[in-house]
Amino acid sequence: MLGGAAVACVPILLVEFSLNGYVERNARAKLESTARSALGLAELRLENAMASLVDLSPKVEGCDRGSLEVMRKTASISIPIKEIAVLDESGITICTNFGDGGEERSVSRELPLADNRFEVALIRFRERNDRALRLRLERRNAKPLSALIPAAFLVPDTLDSDFQDGRSLRLVLDNAEIVAARPTGDEGLSIDHTRTLGVHMKSERFPIAIVAERTRATLTYEYRDLVSLGRIGSALVTILIFALAALYFRRNRSDPLVQFREAIVNGEIIPFFQPTIDIKSGRLVGAEVLARWRKPDGTMVSPANFIPLAERSGLIYPMTHALMEKACTEVGAIHVNRPHINIAFNLYAGHFANDGIIEELKAIFAKSQIGLSQIVLEVTEREPLPDLDLARDIIARLQKLGIRVAIDDVGTGHGGLSYLMKLGVDTIKIDKMFIDAISTERHSQTIIETLLELARTMNMEVIAEGVESFDQVEYLRRKGVHQAQGYVFAPPLPASSYIALVEAMDASGVTRSESTASAA
């Protein structure tokens, strides 16, 4: 009996051991992914702030009116930077872009960066429970400059509910100072590491690290059903296999990810076309291709319900490929004799992780009636580009093929001015957020005018997105913006409606075809 009991326990112990190992590996992989993403964001924000300080340095001599104005302008267009200051040699603030010495604060020990001109320190404000990182730039023959980056800008902008149930994320300096935490307010707390599963990921470029943790108790709770099933033992293995198989197929039928994958394969993801108009001449310039999900019963799924899912799961890549092929099929014919009409596609940051996108575009459009010179690729700022140098090389090779490249949603994402400086794009698109605020936020007009001046200086086209009123059209026309898109002109249209619009607004293709036929 004892021997039989021991043998019977073996499968149970093996199953439990395997399940515990699986749970921990899976949880650790998720923590590593969270930490890697958070560290990448913090590094990018610090790099942007360093670049802004280096660019600003020759323009600031002290606290004179001209220097303060340059500091204000730089702070307004540099997303991670809240405050730019001139310091004395001991690190005391002399003046800031706000004009005065700023709020009272305490400064931690400064840590050097690999670029020995820079040091970083943690700032605590005395009148409020906020923290920030201060980048200090030493200058020859001039007082040091500093940039203040709020702690909230250095960690993912997520809801605190994402870090409940024992989950936490912290950004720390090499001297163990906690800069920021999720959930908010967790900066001063400590966790018993004997009861938590954690990942510590250190930056190779900055004296910072990300610590992502969750309590083991939450793992036991989250996977309690699976662990309980494992403890049933070998006597119920056959029943368990059938139960899991039934559960798997049932889950797949209701799993949004499975449904979306099948939608791509079945051609349910279709292109809609947002017209772009030349607001000086009133001519149609082209259209941006937007994804829509039309189910077999004809119901439409909002992009807000599947685009985030596509980006998180990696299905954004086959979806974009399918959209391009379907656009070629549906509207290719109207581009044949209209070389001046373009068609724009949105690309994700991962499209620039390698040069595969170049061959992919060649293959898709090789037999298409749409020429490569009619294609515009819009680089979104929602996620940071993994390698700016590689992205610039890929963009240059695309431009040699005649393809134009635009930066979408300028000023609202991860790239900021660094994308404008480094990528060598042809066009910038001003985000709807700034257009909406033209008549209500004076800073919005300043930002738009600054972007327009940058575009003129860098010889780039400008397109305004989300234009919804004639007052906005008139303002943009006065400021020299030539192209715009938005509901004031037309909503995103299905292919049939867009084709009808092109034929109504631009008869050049028809005329040219008839002339060719007559000559023949």
- HEC secondary structure over 264-297: HHCCCEEEEEEEEEECCCCCEEEEEEEEEEECCC
Per-residue confidence at 190, pLDDT binned at 50, 70, 90? low
So what's the pLDDT on residue 511?
A: 46
- What does the pLDDT read at residue 346? 92
Please tell me the predicted confidence (pLDDT) of residue 238: 47
With beta carbons less than 8 A apart as the criterion, state whether 158 and 182 touch. Answer: yes
Structure tokens at 23: 């749970």
* C-alpha 455, offset from chain centre: 22
Phi-psi region of 102 (alpha: psi -120 to 50; beta: other; left: phi over 0): left
Give the pLDDT of residue 44. 92
Which of 20-24, 163-167, 352-356, 398-402 is the least confident region?
163-167
* CA-to-CA separations, 72 to 69, 100, 498, in angstroms, rounded: 5, 12, 44
Q: Which amino acid is at 161?
A: S
Which are the contacts of 92, defined by CB distance < 8 A and separation ≥ 6? none
Looking at the chain, the number of H-run helices and the number of E-run strands are 16, 20
Task: For residues 508 and 515, give the distance between their C-alpha atoms in angstroms, rounded to a whole number.
Answer: 10
Domain ranges in the chain? Answer: 1-221, 224-254, 260-507
* pLDDT in the model for residue 224: 67
- The tokens describing 35, both together, are 């930490």
pLDDT mean over 171-198? 74
**Alpha helices per DSSP H over 335-483:** 356-365, 388-400, 417-422, 432-436, 442-457, 470-478
pLDDT in tens, 206-224: 999 999 888 777 777 776 6
Please, are residues 409 and 381 in contact by the beta-carbon 8 Å criterion?
yes
Output the pLDDT for position 516.
41
Kindly state the tokens that stand for 188: 């001063």
Does residue 458 have a pLDDT over 70?
yes
How would residue 192 be classed by pLDDT, with cut points 50, 70 and 90?
A: low
Question: pLDDT tens, 271-306?
Answer: 999 999 999 999 999 999 999 999 999 899 988 889
Q: State phi, psi for 79 to the nearest 5 degrees.
A: -55, -45
Average pLDDT over residues 98-124: 87
From residue 424, how far is each of 56, 258, 300 by CA, in Å? Answer: 21, 38, 37
* pLDDT > 60? residue 512: no
Choosing among 3.20.20.450, 1.10.260.40, 3.20.20.70, 3.40.50.300, the CATH entry for 260-507 is 3.20.20.450
Question: What are the tokens at 243?
Answer: 């139960």
- Residue 242: pLDDT above 90? no
Bridge partners of residue 178, in order along the sequence: 172
pLDDT in tens, 131-154: 899 999 999 888 999 999 998 889
Give the helix ranges, DSSP H, for 366-416. 388-400
pTM of the model: 0.52
Q: Which two tokens stand for residue 147?
A: 């940039």
Placement of tokens 């967790």 in the chain: 186
Position 419 pLDDT exceeds 60: yes
Rounded to whole angstroms, the Cα distance separating 102 from 500 reads 59
Share of the chain above pLDDT 90, in %: 42
The model's confidence at residue 247, banded by pLDDT at 50, 70 and 90, is: low
Cα separation, 319 vs 127, whole angstroms: 50
The length of the chain, given as a count of residues: 520
- Using left for φ > 0, alpha for ψ between -120 and 50, and beta otherwise, residue 90 falls in alpha
Question: What is the full DSSP assignment across 104-171?
Answer: -EEE---EE-SSTTEEEEEEEESSSS-EEEEEEEEETTEEEEEEEEEGGGGS----GGGG-TTEEEEE
Arithmetic mean of pLDDT over the chain: 83
